[in-house]
Amino acid sequence: MGTSPGMTFGGHGSSIRSPRPAARAHWFSSTIQGYSAFMLGFIVSRVLQAVPVLLAVVLLSFFLFAYLGDPVSIMLGQDHTPAQRLALIAELGLDQPFPIRFWRFLLATAKGDFGISYRLAQPVGPLLASRLPATLELAVTASVLAFAVGVPMGVYTGIHARSLLSRTFMIFSLVGVSLPTFLLGILLILMFSVGLGWLPSFGRGPVTHIGSWWTSGFTSWDGIRALILPAVTLGLFQMTVVMRLVRSEMLEVLRSDYVRFARARGLTDRAINFGHALKNTLVPVITVIGLQFGGIVAFSLVTETVFQWPGMGLLLVQSVASADIPVIAAYLPLIAALFVAINLTVDLAYYAVDPRLRFGV
């Protein structure tokens, strides 16, 4: 007579049970440990690959800091004596050899010490930190807007490719891709600020200080109103890119064999479109959104200039206009580190979305 996996053998209450549950638990535990070790090695390898990139950016920043412009004349002005000039050169360490100056610059960069702003006479590190919350708040809002609107529009135009609303969305996406950011910002100001008077045309509005250096405009209605126009201006291009990418991926996935098989099994359109097709479009979308977020932070200077948004982009534009080299030199490694962190986050998100990468298929 055959026995089942859970059958008990022997008399007098003695039993011998199948070891399958224990074996399954051991397999699951070993799988989790192996996956954790693999992810740790993956993260370490990515960080090591990013080190040469960051060193190259820091070297470029050092060349800007050391050999572009004349910081002594900028700091002392035109009326200074040769003795004052020599004293400031020695104080700034400009008379040291190249290796020593670069090593000191590298150590200072690792500590977040980028020197003193020539224009504002303030430490560059705290100055950038005070502008960072405004830029991140604008970039996150624009990215969320692009994702929250672009993905549903892309899914709809992919499923209903020939409908009138889909064609309207496609025309809208062409307008969003074609319009320059500065022109779009000016048009929105003319329409909603000058014409209708609904939204403010510049500034960040009232902010609330959170902690020692973070500020937020989400705590007041005036701060949210001041954020709407810059966020729409900055996020419209990314929204159209996400929409067109999701549409093209949905059209390709819906023509695949496994979708036809799912239809043959009798699955509903909702289960096929959102349970199977949409999941397979997320990997390229994650790539685009991740890289676009870095681009939003790095190149938000146009939007911040149009709306006079007090972020790092506006600070960079003002620094370039006044040849404030320490601020420019500090901006480059900061943006490079941001892109490295975003790329690592995107790579990790691949493993969360695509099971083929987790199981080595």
Please report how many Cα atoms fall inside a 13 Å half-sphere around the Cα of residue 151, on the Cβ side. Answer: 18
Give percent above pLDDT 70 in the chain: 80
Compute the average pLDDT of residues 62-81: 70
Mean pLDDT for the chain overall: 77
Instruction: Count the neighbouring beta carbons within 10 Å of the beta carbon of residue 268.
Output: 11
Distance CA 100, CA 95 (A): 10
The residue assigned the tokens 């059209």 is 251
Residue 8: per-residue pLDDT? 45
| Global confidence as pTM | 0.73
Q: Which of 121-130, 211-220, 307-316 has the lowest mean pLDDT?
A: 211-220
Distance CA 48, CA 54 (A): 10
Burial profile 284-305: b = 16 or more Cβ within 10 angstroms, e = fewer? ebbbbbbebbbbbbbebbbbbb
Residue 11: per-residue pLDDT? 47
Q: DSSP secondary structure string, 183-212?
A: HHHHHHIIIIIIIS--S-SSS----EEETT
Q: What is the pLDDT of residues 75-105, one digit of tens each?
A: 676 777 778 777 877 776 777 777 887 888 7
Name the CATH architecture for the domain at 124-358. Orthogonal Bundle (1.10)
Compute the average pLDDT of residues 334-342: 82
Burial profile 129-160: b = 16 or more Cβ within 10 angstroms, e = fewer? ebbbbbbbbbbebbbebbbebbbebbbbbbbe
Q: What is the pLDDT of residues 149-179, one digit of tens each?
A: 888 888 888 888 788 888 888 888 888 788 8
- Closest to 128 measured CA to CA, from 261, 269, 297, 275: 297
Cβ atoms of residues 215 and 208 within 8 Å: yes
Tell me the three-class secondary structure of 274-313, residue by residue.
HHHHHHHHHHHHHHHHHHHHHHHHHCCHHHHHHCCCCCHH
Q: Per this entry, what is the length of the chain?
A: 361
User: Residue 10 — very low, low, confident or very high, per pLDDT cuts 50/70/90?
Assistant: very low
Q: What is the pLDDT of residues 209-227, one digit of tens each?
A: 787 778 887 888 888 888 8
Beta strand ranges found along the chain (DSSP E): 208-210, 214-216
Angle between helices 221-254 and 164-178 (to 10 degrees): 120
Distance CA 316, CA 325 (A): 10
Domain ranges of the chain: 36-111, 124-358
Compute the average pLDDT of residues 281-296: 77
Q: What is the pLDDT of residues 225-242, one digit of tens each?
A: 888 899 999 888 888 888
Distance CA 291, CA 354 (A): 18
